[in-house]
Amino acid sequence: MDVGPADRVLEIGPGSSDSIACISERLDDGHYVGIDRSATAIARAVKRYAALIDSGRVRLAQVGLEELRLDHTIDGIAFAPGDFDKVLAVNVNLFWTKQPTAELAVLRQLLGPDGTLNLFYGYGSPDAAATSPKVPPGKLVQHLAAADFTARAIVAGDLLGIIARPR
């Protein structure tokens, strides 16, 4: 994702994963916001990353993407147009299991002018041979195009990445 020191990053469904620390350690003036529909996942992340939250670089909110609206404040975090440089989702099935029109419209508005939506699927190493069924990249790209994004797919082993930009 090429996270820079001043980037504003939104992650959808981080749980209490390592991505919170990996992304936030690259930030100086930027910040990381994680939203997750699971209250249990947010509670675990708050406990695990208390120091990062106390530093102000990490903020977490218990909300599902389908509930997210612009110009609302959730758990003390305001969501306004252009607030984020990068949006990340790892193994979030919403983007390919249904037509996520409303969700993509909100994400498109939350992204700044040069922002990217980064969708990643799979497990394992990029160098490993494919062993599991893959998310259909064509379906993801189709959904993104319908929401006025341009997208490119990157496939390595069992891993799939979709990098999308608002048109």
Which pLDDT tens digit goes with each residue over 94-140?
A: 888 888 999 999 999 999 999 999 999 987 777 766 666 667 788 88
CATH number of domain containing 25? 3.40.50.150
How far apart CA 35 and CA 68 sit, in angstroms, is 9
Domain count of the chain?
Answer: 1
Which pLDDT tens digit goes with each residue over 35-60?
A: 999 999 999 999 999 999 999 999 99
DSSP state, residue 76: T
In a domain, 34, yes or no: yes
pLDDT of residue 132: 63
In a domain, 15, yes or no: yes
Enter the pTM of the model: 0.92
C-alpha 2 chain-centroid distance? 14
How far apart CA 40 and CA 128 sit, in angstroms, is 32
In a domain, 149, yes or no: yes
Domain hosting 127: range is 8-166
How far apart CA 17 and CA 60 sit, in angstroms, is 13
Which pLDDT tens digit goes with each residue over 10-38?
A: 999 999 999 999 999 999 999 999 999 99
Is 90 exceeded by the pLDDT of residue 156?
Answer: no
In a domain, 2, yes or no: no
